[in-house]
């Protein structure tokens, strides 16, 4: 069984969209999406520097566009399940047919702007903790006033909070944590700091006409499979201010019988977690079009054994 997944914010790097725009029809698709949301995605994906694409209002639409573009380049794929990490959930909603690509880009544009505005209220951020056990790490974070915003499994939890709280974490790491790595994000996402963004997303969601998922859609909220489009959208709205439970998503993949996992562009983060948490599951990360052949091979072999 094949799972198709989409990464979240922080996966973007300068110029990562450049080789994808050389594929037939790709530049036209990106130009149309750019017009629809009032943001020059091609510029930001090819010429912008790291600081420019760290901007939440830019990074989020850029990631969804890259995910949709790379999935389209993969060809006709019928995964057994789809999921996305954080903003990648909007990409996954498009994979599942809940939203069409343009509606997904419009929603993520609103999300990015609303979250950027919320992030500007207080200087906040996120840091990944490598190593440590959840039962030790989580209470330590809470003692420092931090939120375990991403529980990613495979020995990784991401803490979110104010700059002062994250500095305190650097100086006082939980037992068993090897490193604390600051993420390339501009706010404490999936925490109470993002509450102002929820109302704006609720308003945008009223304009949507979601379809029910055509493929099993695994939600970040609790790792459960969501069966209605209305519930998918409701969860997308609330999830900006609540923790991501990617660990539970991977548990669900396992229960569903996953044998192969493809992470769309800019791939790498989620396949890395899968290699540690889902031993024996074959993975391919789409970083450039050079990875498409390996992904197509995995699709064919997974389908043949399904």
Active site residue 190: yes
User: Is 34 noted as a catalytic residue in this protein?
Assistant: no
**268 touches 11 (CB < 8 A):** yes
| Inter-residue contact 85 to 246 (CB < 8 Å) | yes
Q: Vertex 210, ends 207 and 213: CA angle to 5°?
A: 165
Catalytic-labelled residue, pool 34, 70, 127, 190: 190
Catalytic hit among 86, 127, 193, 219: 86
Q: How many CA atoms lie within 13 A of 108 on its CB side?
A: 35
Residue whose pair of structure tokens reads 């794929």 in the numeric block: 77
∠ CA 117-41-69, nearest 5°, is 115
Q: Which two tokens stand for residue 118?
A: 């919320």
Handedness of CA 203, 194, 69, 99 (dihedral sign): negative
Which residues are identified as catalytic? Answer: 86, 190
């Amino acid at each position: 069984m094949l799972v198709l997944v989409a990464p979240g914010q922080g996966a973007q790097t300068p110029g990562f969209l450049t080789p994808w725009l050389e594929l037939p029809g790709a530049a036209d698709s990106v130009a149309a999406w750019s017009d629809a949301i009032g943001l020059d995605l091609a510029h930001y994906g090819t010429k912008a520097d790291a600081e420019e694409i760290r901007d939440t209002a830019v990074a989020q639409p850029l990631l969804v566009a890259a995910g949709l573009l790379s999935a389209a380049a993969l060809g006709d794929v019928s995964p057994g399940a789809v999921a996305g990490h954080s903003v990648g959930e909007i990409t996954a909603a498009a994979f599942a047919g809940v939203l069409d690509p343009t509606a997904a880009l419009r929603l993520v544009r609103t999300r990015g702007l609303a979250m950027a505005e919320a992030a500007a209220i207080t200087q906040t951020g996120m840091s990944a903790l490598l190593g440590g056990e959840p039962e030790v790490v989580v209470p330590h974070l809470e003692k420092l006033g931090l939120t375990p915003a991403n529980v990613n499994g495979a020995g990784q939890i991401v803490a979110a909070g104010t700059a002062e709280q994250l500095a305190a974490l650097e100086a006082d790491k939980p037992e068993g944590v090897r490193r604390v790595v600051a993420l390339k994000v501009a706010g404490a996402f999936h925490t109470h700091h993002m509450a102002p963004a929820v109302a704006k997303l609720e308003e945008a969601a009223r304009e949507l006409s979601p379809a029910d998922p055509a493929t099993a859609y695994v939600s970040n909220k609790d790792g459960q499979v969501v069966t209605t489009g209305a519930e998918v959208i409701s969860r997308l709205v609330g999830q900006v201010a609540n923790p991501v439970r990617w660990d539970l998503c991977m548990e669900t993949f396992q229960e569903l019988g996953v044998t192969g996992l493809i992470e769309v562009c800019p791939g790498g983060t989620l396949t890395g977690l899968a290699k540690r948490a889902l031993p024996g599951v074959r993975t391919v990360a789409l970083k450039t079009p050079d990875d498409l052949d390996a992904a197509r091979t995995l699709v064919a072999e997974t389908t043949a054994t399904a």
